[in-house]
Every structure is written in C-alpha cells, then in structure tokens.
Amino acid sequence: MTAGPSHVAASKHASHAPHGLSHLPHLATLPAVRSAIDTILAELRRTQASITDARPADSSKVESHASWLKRNNELRGRATMYPYVGAGIGNGALVQLADGSVKWDMINGIGVNMFGHSDSRMVEAALESALSDVCMQGHLQHNVDILEIAEILTAQASRTSRLRHCFVTNSGCMANENALKICQQKTKGAPRIIAFADCFMGRSTTMSQIGDTAAYRQGLVQNILVDYMPFYDPNLGARSTDIAMWHLKQLIDRYPKQHSCFIMEVVQGEGGFNVAPREFLESLMRLCRDASIPVWADEIQSFGRTENMFAFETLGLGEYIDVATVGKLTQICACLFTEDLNPAPGLLAGTFSSSTSAYHVGRRALEVLRDGGYYGANGRIAHLNKAFRACAEDLVRRRPEFFPPVIDGFGRPVQAVVGGIGAMMRLTPLGGKKDALTALLKIMFEEGVIALTCGHGPYHLRLLPPFGVMQPEQFKPVFAIIERSLEKMK
C-alpha cells in the first residue's frame, strides 16, 4: 500500500470513539478559555430563545435588507432565486433574515446545515477551531483534524463494505472529480462512463457533462463520453430491472473494456428523490463486478439521511461498492475507496483540503449522528419521516384540489405524490408542473417556509429538513404554511 501525505489510510485499529481532546487546539482546553466559550454559548441561547416560529419582516429593517440584495445582485450579475440574506442567527429549523423575518428552513443550504441554525454544539466546535494555528488546512501540511474525521468515515463505511481509505476535500464536486480519477486510473484510462438518467454530479466542467441536466452544460464543450441508464421505474416493477439489465449488457457488449465506472446515486437527489429496491441495484452491480467495471456510490446528498449513515448500507449493497463520495452535512467532503482502487502516488493531492472550522464542525456532526440514536427503524430519522408523511398525506386527503393527477414523461399517471426516503422528503402538488411549483415556492418563502424543487418532469416539492435538530411536531406549522401558500395559488 502506498500512502503519502496526499491521502489517508484508516488504521485497522481505528477507534469508533472520540480521541479525548486530541482534536482541540491547546488553547481550547484551558479553563479560562472554556469559561469564555461557555459564556458565549449562554448568550447565544438567550438570543435565539425569542425565535420560536415564522414571522414577517421588521419594517425598520426592510430598507437595509433591500440594499444588501441590490448589492448582491449587482455583484453576481443576476438576482438570486430567493431574496435571502441571513442575519447570522437562528434556532434549529428556524432562520432569521436580515429584514427581521423568520422562516422555517426546509432546504438548509441544499442539505449542508443538517443541524439547522445556531446549534450550540456546532457553534462550540467552530469556536474551538478558531483557536487553531491555521484557518485552512492542506494535504501537504495538516493537523490531526483530517485524520480523525477520516477515521470516523472509514470506520463507519468499513462495517458493511470493503471501503478502507479516505481522501478529504472541500467540496462534493471535488470529491466526485477525485473518484473519477481513481476509477479511470484503475481501468487504465477507459474513456466511457455509465450513469443513471436524471443524475446530478456537480458543477465543474466534467461533472456538468456527466450530470443529466441539459441546462447545466449549455455552451460547454462536450468531451466526456457518458452512457445513460434508466433508473428504477415503479410503474414497471420487476420488469424495470429486466430492462435496465438489458441496457447494461448492451453497453458492455458494445464497448468492451471501455467503461471506467458506473456512477450510481443510490438515492437520486436532484433527479427527484427517486428510490430503487435493493434487487434492482444489486443486479446491475453484480453485472458490473463480472465485467470489472468499478461501482461508484455518489452519496453527496444521501449520506446520513437514510436509516443508516450510508444509503448503500440501508439497502445492503456494501459488498459491491468500490468507491463512495460523501459531503454536504459532513461539512468537509470525501472520497472513500477500497484497497484494490488505492491510487498511485500523485493522483490525489491539492492545496486545500478544507477549513479548520469545517473539520471541527463536521467531526462534531458525525459524532452526534453516530451516537445520538438517529439510525435504525426506531431512530430519529425514521420518526421524522413518519411525521412528514402523516402531515403530507393528511394534506393530500383533505385538499385533493391541490393534487390533480401527475403524469410522467411517458404519459402515465404517477401514483405516489408523497415520496422520498428518510430525511429526503418530497411532495408533488399542482400536477408536478414546473411553472406552478416555481410560483408556489416564492409564495411559500414569503409566508415563511424555504424549500426547493427536484425532478425533471414531473417536478416535486423538495424538503431537506435539518433532521439533526428538527422535532416531528414542527412539521405541523410547516404544513400549515404550505397549505396557506397553496390556497394563494388559486
């Protein structure tokens, strides 16, 4: 095994428990400093105690907020989707904006802020990180932080998979770029990639070409060879597996030894929070294994959000995974890989790995998730999903006028308007029409709920609630606002 400063190998004896205070700067362990941090956290809790529900803007702050938005739009060259400028304070699932309004944040930076806003545990970790000697860490020179967070990830992944090594980076897109390099090197430069239709991979030049959204690659030179596979179709049931297997066999026969990997979002994110049964994915993974095509699980959005930390573990597919990428709620991002795909020296490197604060907050988040009762059939994520479904199904039952028939791309009715998995939640009002849902999102924002869409037709209302802190009963005020917003669509 080759393991230089450019990537981290997990020790066979890596502990699943925190290493005491070894990750903290010396200053952060001193009594006087701990007392100061405790004082700051007490003031934080006092300040956020008044943030208890959505509320409209404060008239005295509207003009200042508008000025910030104007400056933002001029700098970016266009307006953002929402008139959002945060005030830097919140309370769990609630966030306060610069205009004094408070909103239920059901998207959280597209899944980044899983503990919501102003969580004292995350703020404490960030305060501790500020006492470190550097703001940014790299792969040539790093502190213990990179090792300890990599150990947590590899320890969790290796329980049910062959993943043993971890390369940390500062964005999900870069984690995916690194995964692709590993797969291409393993397959001696095989030029083609297999991916599911409707996938999303990131915004770099390469990842924009692999992702199946035409608008995201408009005007780009097309130099990546991608073969798209149909994802699971619930309308076809077991036949969907047969069709996908036929497609994959055709690709392997047409381009023998030409595929560097099959990229699989085990749960599709941008594509519509689409899920597939184990049998569907396992059949494809087995065929890839027989053809020596590495299987890459892209869990940038799904990581942590199902009933296990890894979605591939939830579906019992760990034995087939050669490479996995994680990000968003981890704060740092990472590419994990097996011993067999451990790359040659020099392939993985980079100036920045991530910021010290991202390491500290990400480590704290992973520890809370690992030890806090979030996973399993009776875990906190399962209870939160149950509460979401109860509220969503109640709304569908009481207000059928908001849920006309949804038609898919083949002209077939979509049966389930409530979907997703775990803390990846979707609802399909207004027939799944893009323009109607875009208008609904803007009304919801004004009324006090922030969300997004997912899917490529039909389109869905996408919720990524801060499951680290959100309570099941908090879905009631959220759905009250959704219902009120739907009424205003009339």
Of the candidates 371, 387, 417, which is a domain's last residue?
371
CA 298 to chain centre: 10
Of the candidates 320, 350, 371, which is a domain's last residue?
371
The amino acid present at 45, given as its one-letter code, is: R
- Is residue 415 located within the same domain as residue 291? no
- Is residue 346 located within the same domain as residue 383? no
DSSP string over 344-385: PTTSS--S--EEHHHHHHHHHHHHHHHHTT--STTSHHHHHH
Residue 348 lies in a domain: yes
Overall average pLDDT of the 260-280 stretch: 96
**Which range of residues forms the domain containing residue 274?**
136-371
Residue 66 DSSP class: H
In the predicted model, what is the mean pLDDT of the chain?
94
Reply yes or no on whether the pLDDT at 16 is more than 50: no
- Is residue 152 located within the same domain as residue 268? yes
CATH of the domain at 202: 3.40.640.10
Percentage of the chain lying above the pLDDT 70 cut: 96
Residue 17 lies in a domain: no
How many domains are contained in the chain?
Answer: 2
- Is residue 146 located within the same domain as residue 83? no
Reply yes or no on whether the pLDDT at 9 is more than 90: no
pLDDT at 8: 44
- Is residue 92 located within the same domain as residue 173? no
Residue 38 lies in a domain: no
pLDDT tens, position by position, 141-167: 999 999 999 999 999 999 999 999 999
- Is residue 231 located within the same domain as residue 179? yes
- Is residue 186 located within the same domain as residue 275? yes
Residue 13 pLDDT level (bands cut at 50, 70, 90): very low
- Is residue 103 located within the same domain as residue 210? no
Residue 21 pLDDT level (bands cut at 50, 70, 90): low
Task: Identify which of 306, 217, 224, 232 has the alpha carbon closest to the alpha carbon of residue 264.
Answer: 232
- Is residue 307 located within the same domain as residue 363? yes
pLDDT at 414: 87
pLDDT tens, position by position, 425-464: 999 999 999 999 999 999 999 999 999 999 999 999 999 9
- Is residue 164 located within the same domain as residue 244? yes
Overall average pLDDT of the 16-26 stretch: 59
- Is residue 78 located within the same domain as residue 146? no
- Is residue 204 located within the same domain as residue 291? yes
The amino acid present at 378, given as its one-letter code, is: N
pLDDT tens, position by position, 204-247: 999 999 999 999 999 999 999 999 999 999 999 999 999 999 99
3-class secondary-structure state, position 426: strand
Reply yes or no on whether the pLDDT at 3 is more than 80: no
Residue 5 lies in a domain: no
φ/ψ of 171, rounded to 5, equals -155, 155
φ/ψ of 322, rounded to 5, equals -100, -35
Reply yes or no on whether the pLDDT at 17 is more than 60: no
Of the candidates 371, 387, 421, which is a domain's last residue?
371
pLDDT at 20: 52
Residue 442 lies in a domain: yes
CATH of the domain at 91: 3.90.1150.10
pTM confidence score:
0.93
